[in-house]
Amino acid sequence: MALEDAKKQVDQAITRPDLKGLSFENAFGGVPSFMRRRYTKDLTGVDVAITGIPFDQAVTNRPGTRLGPRAIREASSLQVFDPPYGWDGYSPLEALAIADYGDMAFDYAHTPGFPDLVKTHIAAILEAGAAAITLGGDHSITLPILRAHADRYGPLALVQVDAHTDTWPDDDPVRIDHGTFCYTAVREGLIDVARSVHVGIRTVVEDNLGIEIIDARQIHERGPAAAAARVKAVVGDAPVYLSFDIDGLDPAFAPGTGTPVWGGLSSGQAAIFLRDLAGVDLVGGDVVEVSPPFDTGGVTAVAAAHVAMELLCLWGWTRR
C-alpha cells in the first residue's frame, strides 16, 4: 500500500484530503509542510496546529534562525512514513488531527509591536480549541507564547532544555532579547517557579530565580532517564510548557545555532529524556534557535524536527 501511495502522492501540504494519516510522498519532493500536514488557516476539528515564527532580531551572536521554520519543515519529511520509534506503537500522525498553520506574518522592520503579534497569533490557535507547537525563530518568541498560554491555563510549569537559563536581568519593557525571556516570564507570573526546571544548562548562572537546574553534567553522569524522572516529580500534575532550545544539544549534534556551547546533550540523550517525560500534562511547546546558515548537512534541522515530533507525542500521550 505504501508503494502504491508513493506513486500517487505529491504536494500533500496542499492536496491531502484529511488531517490524519501517514504520508508516502517522496521525502525529496513536493511542498515542504511540517510532517506533510495540510496547510490551512481553518482550525475546525484540529487537535494540534504547527506554526512558525521566523524571527531572529533578538539574538546576541549569530543570526539565521528566521530561516529555522522552513528548514525544520523540510527535515520533517523524513519522519512521515512510520510511527515514531520508542512510543509503543503510538502514532500521532494517525491519531491526531494536525495542521500546519503556516508562519506568522509580521513587519520585520517594526520590532516593538512584535511580541503582541506573537501573543495574538498563538491565542487565536488556543481559542480555536487546538494546541500550538511552535517552530522558531530565536528564543525571545517564547515569552509572548507563554503569555498566551498563561492567559488560558494560569501559571505554567516550564521545562526548558537549553545551554543557558535565559534569566539575565532585564527590566526594560521595550527590549526584546532571547537571553531574558525567562526572567521576564518569572517577573510576570507566567510560570510557577516551584514547578519549573531548566535542563542541560552549562553556562554560569548568577540568579536562576528559584528554578531548579539539572545541568548537562548531571545528565552525563546520572543519565537522561533520571533527569526525566526528576522533572516529572517537580512538575507533578501542573500544565506544562516545554521549550527546547536546540543549543541544549552539544554542537557536535546541533552546529546550526547562534550560541553553541560545548558539553551538551547528545541527540540520543535528548530522545530518551523526552520520551521518558510521557505522562506530563503538556499543553504547548516550541523548538527554537535553529540557524540553517550554520547547519552542516542539515543535522540541526533534523534534530529539531525530531524534537517537534516528540512534542506531538507528549501532547497526545495523555489524550489517547
Say what the pLDDT of residue 3 is. 66
pTM (2 d.p.): 0.97
Annotated domain spans of the chain: 2-317
Say what the pLDDT of residue 1 is. 56
According to CATH, what is the number of the domain 2-317?
A: 3.40.800.10
Say what the pLDDT of residue 2 is. 73
Say what the pLDDT of residue 68 is. 98
Say what the pLDDT of residue 5 is. 77
- Annotated binding residues for Mn(2+), written as ranges, equal 139, 162, 164, 166, 245, 247
Say what the pLDDT of residue 247 is. 98
Contact 19, 106 (CB under 8 A): no
Distance CA 228, CA 305 (A): 20
Sequence-distant (6+) residues with CB within 8 A of 9 are: 23, 24, 25
- Annotated binding residues, written as ranges, equal 139, 162, 164, 166, 245, 247
Contact 271, 292 (CB under 8 A): no
Sequence-distant (6+) residues with CB within 8 A of 165 are: 182, 198, 201, 203, 205, 208, 211, 213
Distance CA 69, CA 54 (A): 6
Contact 118, 181 (CB under 8 A): no
Say what the pLDDT of residue 6 is. 76
Distance CA 208, CA 84 (A): 35
> pLDDT tens string for the chain (320 positions)?
576 777 889 999 999 999 999 999 999 999 999 999 999 999 999 999 999 999 999 999 999 999 999 999 999 999 999 999 999 999 999 999 999 999 999 999 999 999 999 999 999 999 999 999 999 999 999 999 999 999 999 999 999 999 999 999 998 888 988 989 999 999 999 999 999 999 999 999 989 999 999 999 999 999 999 999 999 999 999 999 999 999 999 999 999 999 999 999 999 999 999 999 999 999 999 999 999 999 999 999 999 999 999 999 999 999 99
